[in-house]
Amino acid sequence: MSLNDHWMQRDLAVLWHPCTQMKDHEQLPLVPIKRGEGVWLEDFDGKRYLDAVSSWWVNVFGHANPRINQRIKDQVDQLEHVILAGFSHAPVVELSERLVRMTPAGLDRVFYADNGSSCIEVALKMSFHYWLNVGQPAKKRFITLSNSYHGETVAAMSVGDVSLFTDTYKALLLDTLKVPSPDCFYRPEGMGWEEHSRAMFAHMEQCLAEHHREVAAVIVEPLIQGAGGMRMYHPIYLKLLREACDRYGVHLIHDEIAVGFGRTGTMFACEQAGIRPDFLCLSKALTGGYLPLAACLTTDTIYQAFYDDYSTLRAFLHSHSYTGNPLACAAALATLDIFEQDDVIEANKQLSARMASATAHLADHPHVAEVRQTGMALAVEMVQDKASKTAYPWQERRGLKVYQHALQRGALLRPLGSVVYFLPPYVITPEQIDFLAEVASEGIDIATRESLSVAVPSGARVDFRDPG
Ligand SMILES: *Cc1c(COP(=O)(O)O)cnc(C)c1O
């Protein structure tokens, strides 16, 4: 038995994997990873895979990065963890100072959670609680965009729109208001991104006009709807949204958990709209992909509405056991050092240009509806019919074929439904980008060649995080 098989069998005897129909593993081998280095992951039999999805969008400077490793090693000998209520430590103070300094002016307070979903819960609770504290208890609903994803916990699911969740767990969810997304994939022929995103704002304007008295906040994934298929829109929408939220007295929550830290081409996506949200949620790349940590930044106005004598019971009494973990903060500080010292945002411009040129030919593929890109995220959408942009039935799992082909060729590409995307660590080389483009092209050819006949039950849809 190979070492891979050995670990796979031990794993499958005891583990229940995330976002996985475990029965798939009767056909689909699990890939046990022994070590990582830079963009590469290496399995127990010595085969290497180029991590094109940054291990679920978290890794920015490669696996086993010497600079981040060293910072964590130094920190672990000093202090591994301490309660953050009543106590503090240097890494969390330094990290908070830096986050306040590097985000748009006015985001002056940092509250920590230990993963992205919890960070969304913090923002939702804080917004609702703010309105309660200032005597507006009617403001308790949230406006969200169609096709959005904000995490897996119940309130985070409620403001998301991935149909598996909204269908299966409907009975558990908050009552939210949903507005059509400014996603540019379905824009009318000949229309540009800006014009389309601007036109789509009419739906948001109408919803705010009608419901603002009962709305606490609007929550969006700025510029890229990630788990919803790497769908993209123009920054003008965020600018219009900021103005409208001010006009109607509604908070704006930016979920930059996936897009923060350079993914869209700027450090934060909100910079491209020149705006400051009331809540900025960060996680994923915050620690370079090393340790779970999330930060919810907000304004002094919000903070002051909670600041009072204890007996008024206005405090935000929310906590997570690992809030502000020193090892995670140390990893984050090392990550921010690399951004600064290596002028990463500038250097990424060349890489993102290479991602564009290496995949440009795919736009002519008979089963590719669109090759789209925002900064260091590039997506290729496979469709059954190019002219009408008709999707493949999800049951055909075309993306899974690309995934399997890529594994064979030594790349980790994990499509979202029929959307093949690159979201690589920023330490990828131009040659490695060319290799990914080659593997993706082959995979797309294979996946779209066959006409698959599968039974298509009506109603159900795919979970976008699934490779299928
Ligand atoms: C991944 C993600 C989350 C959830 O973060 P977790 O750490 O997986 O809980 C929330 N919002 C967006 C936009 C994400 O991509």
* pLDDT tens column, 131-168: 999 999 999 999 999 999 999 999 999 999 987 777 88
Atom index in ligand 1 nearest the CA of residue 153 equals 9
Contact 386, 407 (CB under 8 A): no
Residues found in the chain: 468
Atom index in ligand 1 nearest the CA of residue 259 equals 13
Distance 116 CA to ligand 1 centre (A): 5
Atom index in ligand 1 nearest the CA of residue 115 equals 7
Q: Whose CA is nearest to atom 12 of ligand 1?
A: 150
Report the SS3 class of residue 332: helix
Q: Which residues contact 7 (CB under 8 A, 6 or more apart)?
A: 32, 44
Distance 225 CA to ligand 1 centre (A): 11
Distance 113 CA to ligand 1 centre (A): 12
| Overall average pLDDT of the 388-405 stretch | 96
Atom index in ligand 1 nearest the CA of residue 284 equals 7
| Overall average pLDDT of the 381-404 stretch | 96
pLDDT of residue 460: 41
What phi, psi does 268 have (nearest 5°)?
-125, 150
Confidence of residue 453 (pLDDT cuts 50, 70, 90): low
Burial 347-379 (b: 16+ CB within 10 A, else e): ebeebbebbeebbeebeebebbbbbbbbbbbbb
pLDDT of residue 464: 45
pLDDT of residue 163: 79
Distance 387 CA to ligand 1 centre (A): 33
Answer whether residue 467 shows pLDDT above 90.
Answer: no
Burial 283-300 (b: 16+ CB within 10 A, else e): bbbbbbbbbbbbbbbbbe
Q: Whose CA is nearest to atom 6 of ligand 1?
A: 116
Give the integer Cα–Cα distance in Å for 216 and 243. Answer: 16
pLDDT of residue 459: 43
149, 162, 219, 223, best to mutate for ligand 1 pocket (most atoms within 8 Å of CB) = 149
Q: Which residue ranges have their beta carbon within 6 Å of ligand 1?
A: 115-117, 120, 149-152, 221, 226-227, 255, 257-258, 283
Report the SS3 class of residue 231: strand
Mean pLDDT, the chain, rounded, equals: 95
Contact 48, 410 (CB under 8 A): yes
Distance 392 CA to ligand 1 centre (A): 26
pLDDT of residue 457: 46
Give the integer Cα–Cα distance in Å for 195 and 213. Answer: 29
Domains of the chain: 3-61+345-449 (3.90.1150.10), 69-341 (3.40.640.10)
| Overall average pLDDT of the 66-80 stretch | 98
Give the integer Cα–Cα distance in Å for 69 and 288. Answer: 11
Contact 287, 182 (CB under 8 A): no
Distance 224 CA to ligand 1 centre (A): 13
Report the SS3 class of residue 157: helix
Contact 309, 146 (CB under 8 A): no
Contact 7, 44 (CB under 8 A): yes
Cα-based angle 69, 71, 76 (whole degrees, multiple of 5): 95
Answer whether residue 345 shows pLDDT above 80.
Answer: yes
Q: Whose CA is nearest to atom 11 of ligand 1?
A: 150
| Overall average pLDDT of the 289-308 stretch | 98
57, 256, 257, 264, best to mutate for ligand 1 pocket (most atoms within 8 Å of CB) = 257
pLDDT digits (tens, 9 = 90+) for 238-286: 999 999 999 999 999 999 999 999 999 999 999 999 999 999 999 999 9
Contact 236, 204 (CB under 8 A): no
Among residues of the chain, what percentage have pLDDT more than 70? 96
Give the integer Cα–Cα distance in Å for 324 and 121. Answer: 16
Among residues of the chain, what percentage have pLDDT more than 90? 94
Distance 268 CA to ligand 1 centre (A): 16
Give the integer Cα–Cα distance in Å for 378 and 285. Answer: 17
Would you give the distance in Å from CA 155 to the centre of its chain?
17
pTM check: above 0.75: yes
Give the integer Cα–Cα distance in Å for 50 and 390. Answer: 31
